[in-house]
């Protein structure tokens, strides 16, 4: 999972990046197109408990990559977002959009005042315009392809033209692509396109310490809104764990922002975790919700998916309540599943395969 942290200048993007990754990137730098990335472990108490049970040589958590993307300022204009910046944005699975809601006379807002809804609209407009340019270019190429009459089947080209015309209508009406409902076939058709307004977005309302949470409505599909105090969270993230826990309690913060962001991001992107266990390694893996057993096996290694025969499956809750694999097998909770099995969050899998 790769998430891009975006927002207007002085919104607190790098502050949140530091809070999530425990990095120490300097904040307040504007006007540059820069991308800083960090890979962090996904906190999961289930991994800790499985490791305690199996005592493996290695314990490996699932990973998430955060990218602090600077350079967006709401002024891309008719030409769209520049190539280098656009390339980084299209590679993201989703965005964390930091929206400034705090006043600070030492850090003036680039637009002169704090207005969350205005800033949200500015970023959406930039993405809408960029996608509209991309759709128009694609329609031109499709028209040329159809005119030449060579290559792909005409019916396939016509279906793509119909879809992109719908996109053009949506974007021309200032509506985000993520608010459109598409079929599974249409989703496959778009596999190679990185339309920005289609990507899921977690909107982070960035507050000052002690600031009352404002009511910010953002009613779009594949979107969520959460509020936090990024500066305070960053300061706490730099502390040793015991001191950090004390400060979290003092300020009434239920859990670090990293935990909340990852959980919300998993929900937003429709992802879940499954596990493999043994004396050598206990490991968490990430797959989409609704994935079949062979698809989950492919997350481990492509050979496991190609040669998939069966999956030994036990639910995490069953394993922990029964006390081990032998007990789960004796109680009939360790079972064999075939290619049609839909993997559930927390499943522990052992893949049987033959290449």
Domain ranges of the chain: 290-353
**What is the average pLDDT across 156-183?**
95
Say what the pLDDT of residue 280 is. Answer: 96
Work out whether strand 271-276 and strand 281-288 pair parallel, antiparallel, or are unpaired: antiparallel
Closest residue by Cα to residue 188 from 163, 217, 153, 214: 163
Q: Phi and psi dihedrals of 162, rounded to 5?
A: -60, -45
Q: Is the pLDDT of residue 140 over 70?
A: yes
Residue 30: pLDDT over 70: no
Residue 258's pLDDT is what?
72
CA–CA distance from 323 to each of 12, 24, 52, 333, 337 (Å)?
46, 42, 11, 12, 22
Residue 133 tokens, joined: 């340019």
pLDDT at 59 (0 to 100): 97
Find out whether 233 and 19 touch, Cβ atoms under 8 Å.
yes
- Give pLDDT, residue 336: 96
pLDDT in tens, 275-309: 999 999 999 999 999 999 999 999 999 999 999 99
Query: Across the chain, what does the average pLDDT equal?
Result: 90
Task: Calculate helix-pair angle for 257-269, 230-237, nearest 10 degrees.
Answer: 120
pTM attached to this predicted model? 0.88
**Residues of the chain above pLDDT 70, percent:** 97
CATH number among 3.40.50.12170, 3.30.420.40, 3.10.20.30, 1.10.8.60, domain 290-353: 3.10.20.30
CB 132 within 8 A of CB 110: no
């Amino acid at each position: 999972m790769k998430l891009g942290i975006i927002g207007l200048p002085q919104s607190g993007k790098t502050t949140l990046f530091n809070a999530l990754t425990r990095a120490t990137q300097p904040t307040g730098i504007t006007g540059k197109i820069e991308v800083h990335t960090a890979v962090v472990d996904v906190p999961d108490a289930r991994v800790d408990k499985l490791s305690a049970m199996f005592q493996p040589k290695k314990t490996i958590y699932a990973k998430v990559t955060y990218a602090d993307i600077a350079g967006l300022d709401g002024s891309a204009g008719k030409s769209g977002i520049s190539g280098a910046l656009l390339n980084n944005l299209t590679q993201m699975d989703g965005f964390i959009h930091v929206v400034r809601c705090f006043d600070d006379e030492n850090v003036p807002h680039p637009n002169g005042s704090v207005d969350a809804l205005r800033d949200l609209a500015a970023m959406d407009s930039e993405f809408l315009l960029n996608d509209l340019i991309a759709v128009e270019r694609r329609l031109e190429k499709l028209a040329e392809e159809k005119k030449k009459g060579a290559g792909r089947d005409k019916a396939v080209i016509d279906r793509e033209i119909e879809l992109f015309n719908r996109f053009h209508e949506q974007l021309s009406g200032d509506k985000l692509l993520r608010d459109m409902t598409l079929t599974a076939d249409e989703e496959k058709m778009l596999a190679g396109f990185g339309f920005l307004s289609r990507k899921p977005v977690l909107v982070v309302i960035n507050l000052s310490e002690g600031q009352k949470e404002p009511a910010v409505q953002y009613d779009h599909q594949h979107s969520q809104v959460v509020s936090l105090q990024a500066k305070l969270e960053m300061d706490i993230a730099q502390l040793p764990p015991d001191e950090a826990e004390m400060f979290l309690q003092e300020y009434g913060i239920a859990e670090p922002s990293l935990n909340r962001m990852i959980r919300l991001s998993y929900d937003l992107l429709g992802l879940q975790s499954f596990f493999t266990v043994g004396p050598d390694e206990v490991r968490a893996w990430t797959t989409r919700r609704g994935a079949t057993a062979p698809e989950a096996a492919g997350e481990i290694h492509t050979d496991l998916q190609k040669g998939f025969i069966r999956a030994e499956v036990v639910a995490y809750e069953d394993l922990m309540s029964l006390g081990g694999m032998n007990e789960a097998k004796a109680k009939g909770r360790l079972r064999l599943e075939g290619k049609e099995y839909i993997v559930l969050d927390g499943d522990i899998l052992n893949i049987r395969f033959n290449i």
